[in-house]
């Protein structure tokens, strides 16, 4: 290990080259934990936990979503074309197609996001902070699989510069960076991220007629290999989609009530995630496993998760009670089958920087996200899903919630002082 350390140290650029030095520091601390020790005053020992480890646990919790999401991209693609319809048929093709879609998204997100992070770290003269580790892992999961890369790059740059660096870097941002990137796409390029057309990858639309895309060189490259191995191949592509294909997500259908959803997707399908949607949000068990991991390790607040479930359930029940239209009349528990509720709960609302800081505040914060998300989902015809907006909205309100909680603490103390003084 020490010899490796020396080898790596030999590459250290001089301190005058700020950008290179920051870059080196970033990679060096990725490889080795630094040898800095505690100061003479204050604590002499420190907890093993640091921000890098915290962030990496979140990234690990996302891995099941990545695996399923990648596979599901391919599966939905073939399902739309009517090929390899069974879930576990032609696994290699589906996985490869998924990788071809997700890897560029992942790489572009990181090149743009980390590039900006490195630039600002060098400019401000501090170490590279880990915030983007999680943001960068989240962004590909909340985008449609076919998101144009330039739009993605623009969105990431927008979110990181205006959402984070403008406020002072990791730990200082007001709103969730990953959601800000998604909101940017949502409002600037709504065609790419809403409607029925964007959720299945590799389709081309002419008017209302959809065909499969003509496969590119990567597909062909692997086709050669697959042919050699005697496996199924992609072929040339350009096949027509099956009759009756719509590409609509359950939420788009939910306006017509639960029956019109179940006409397309069974409850089990929605639970296990075999349906179109953003990459990471479809498979509920994978998300729940991640959520459980975060709650058990104490990385994410179980208070926020629980109160968000309560808030959503409460609002669902209220709507049932009101019962104005078909969507409102849909039994409240079915809301949990559709859309990205679980993903938003586990990974978005629990971001410690943008959530409420106080435990009391966390209950309120989570509850209102739950309430607002369902309100937007049910009442606003323009936005089929509400969690992104609900969380961004509550991110903005979180400091106010904390303010009142903290004020209550101060009042308590003041009252006590007065009692003692009398």
Partner 1 sequence: MRKGFTRLILITSFLFLQQLAQAQNPGGDGMKGLSVTLLAVVVLIAFFVIIQVADNLVRIEARKSGVDDQEGRFSVLPGFRDFFRRKIPAYAEGARFVSLKAGHNINLEGQAPAVIDAGTKAATFAVQPPNFRGMLPIPKVVVEVGSTVKAGDHLFFDKTNEAVKYVAPVSGEVIAVNRGERRSIREVVILADREQQYRQLPAFDLEYSSREELVNFLLDSGGWSLLRQRPFDVVASHTDVPENIFISTFDTAPLAPDLNFVVQGRGAAFQKGLDVLGKLTKGKVWLGLDGNGQNAPSPVFTQAKGVEKCWFAGKHPAGNVGVQIHHVAPITPKSIVWTLGVQEVITLGALFSERCFNAERIVALTGAELHEPKYVRTSIGANIGELLKGNLAEGNVRLVSGDVLSGEKTASAGYLNFYDDQATVLAEGDFHELFGWLLPDLATPSVSKALSGSRFPDTVYRANTNMHGEPRAFVITGQYEEMLPMDIYPQHLMKAILTNDYEKMEGLGIYELIEEDVALCEFACTSKQPLQQILRTGLDMMNEQG
Binding residues among 296-315 for partner 1 as defined by CB under 8 A? 296-299, 301, 303, 306, 310, 313
In angstroms, the Cα distances linking 6 to 10, 28, 29, 40 are 6, 11, 14, 28
CA distance 108 to 114: 10
> CA torsion 58→61→66→72, rounded to 10°?
-140
Nearer to partner 1, 86 or 410 (CB): 410
Confirm or reject binding of residue 238 to partner 1 (CB under 8 A): no
CA distance 321 to 317: 6
Give the number of other Cβ atoms within 10 Å of residue 387's Cβ: 28
Q: Is 233 left (phi over 0), alpha (psi -120 to 50) or beta?
A: beta
CB of 187 to partner 1, least distance (A): 28
Copy the structure tokens of residue 150. Answer: 């330039």
Q: Which of 79, 96, 353, 369 is in the footprint of partner 1 by CB under 8 A?
A: 353
> CA torsion 387→390→393→398, rounded to 10°?
-100
In this structure, what are the phi and psi dihedrals at residue 231, rounded to the nearest 5 degrees? Answer: -100, 170
CB of 331 to partner 1, least distance (A): 7
Q: Which of 246, 260, 269, 320 is in the footprint of partner 1 by CB under 8 A?
A: 320
Give the number of other Cβ atoms within 10 Å of residue 364's Cβ: 22
Query: Is the CB of residue 328 less than 8 Å from the CB of residue 241?
Result: no
Q: Which of 11, 19, 27, 46 is in the footprint of partner 1 by CB under 8 A?
A: 46
User: Mask: binding to partner 1, 155-194, rule CB under 8 A, as x and -?
Assistant: -------------xxxxx----------------------
Confirm or reject binding of residue 124 to partner 1 (CB under 8 A): no
CB of 376 to partner 1, least distance (A): 20
**Between residue 358 and residue 397, which ones bind partner 1 under the rule CB under 8 A?**
358-359, 362
Confirm or reject binding of residue 15 to partner 1 (CB under 8 A): no
Q: Which of 157, 317, 375, 379 is in the footprint of partner 1 by CB under 8 A?
A: 317
Nearer to partner 1, 146 or 402 (CB): 402
CA distance 236 to 238: 7
Binding part of the chain for partner 1, among 36-44, 212-220, 228-236, 383-391 by CB under 8 A, reads 36-44
CB of 242 to partner 1, least distance (A): 34
Confirm or reject binding of residue 70 to partner 1 (CB under 8 A): no
Q: Which of 7, 187, 421, 422 is in the footprint of partner 1 by CB under 8 A?
A: 421
Copy the structure tokens of residue 377. Answer: 């989902």
Q: Which residues contact 47 (CB under 8 A, 6 or more apart)?
A: none
């Amino acid at each position: 290990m020490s010899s490796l350390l020396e080898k790596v140290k030999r590459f250290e650029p001089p301190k005058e080259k700020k950008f290179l030095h920051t870059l080196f520091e970033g990679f060096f601390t990725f490889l080795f934990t630094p040898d800095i020790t505690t100061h003479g005053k204050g604590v002499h020992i420190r907890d093993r936990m640091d921000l890098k480890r915290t962030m990496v646990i979140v990234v690990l919790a996302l891995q099941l979503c990545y695996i399923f999401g990648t596979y599901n991209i391919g599966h939905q693609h073939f399902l739309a074309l009517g090929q390899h319809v069974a879930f576990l048929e032609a696994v290699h093709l589906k996985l490869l197609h998924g990788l071809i879609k997700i890897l560029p998204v992942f790489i572009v997100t990181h090149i743009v996001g980390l590039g900006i992070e490195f630039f600002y770290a060098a400019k401000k003269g501090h170490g590279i902070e880990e915030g983007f580790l999680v943001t960068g892992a989240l962004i590909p999961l909340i985008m449609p699989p076919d998101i144009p890369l330039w739009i993605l790059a623009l969105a990431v740059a927008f979110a990181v510069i205006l959402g984070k660096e403008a406020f002072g870097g990791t730990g200082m941002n007001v709103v969730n960076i990953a959601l800000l990137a998604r909101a940017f796409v949502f409002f600037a390029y709504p065609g790419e991220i809403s409607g029925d057309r964007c959720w299945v990858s590799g389709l081309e639309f002419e008017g209302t007629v959809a065909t499969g895309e003509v496969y590119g060189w990567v597909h062909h490259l692997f086709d050669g290999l697959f042919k050699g191995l005697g496996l199924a191949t992609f072929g040339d592509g350009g096949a027509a989609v099956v009759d009756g294909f719509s590409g609509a997500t359950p939420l788009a259908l939910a306006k017509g009530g639960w029956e019109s959803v179940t006409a397309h997707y069974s409850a089990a399908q929605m639970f296990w995630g075999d349906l179109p949607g953003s990459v990471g949000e479809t498979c509920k068990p994978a998300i729940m496993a991640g959520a459980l991991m975060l709650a058990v390790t104490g990385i994410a607040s179980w208070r926020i998760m629980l109160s968000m479930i309560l808030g959503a359930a409460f609002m669902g029940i209220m709507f049932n009670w009101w019962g104005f239209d078909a969507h409102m009349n849909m039994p409240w528990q079915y809301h949990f089958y559709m859309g990205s509720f679980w993903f938003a709960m586990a990974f978005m609302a629990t971001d410690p920087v943008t959530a409420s800081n106080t435990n009391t505040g966390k209950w309120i914060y989570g509850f209102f996200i739950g309430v607002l998300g369902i309100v937007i989902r049910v009442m606003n015809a323009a936005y089929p899903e509400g969690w992104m907006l609900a969380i961004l909205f509550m991110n903005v309100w979180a400091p106010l919630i904390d303010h009142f909680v903290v004020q209550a603490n101060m009042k308590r103390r003041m009252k006590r002082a007065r009692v003692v003084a009398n």
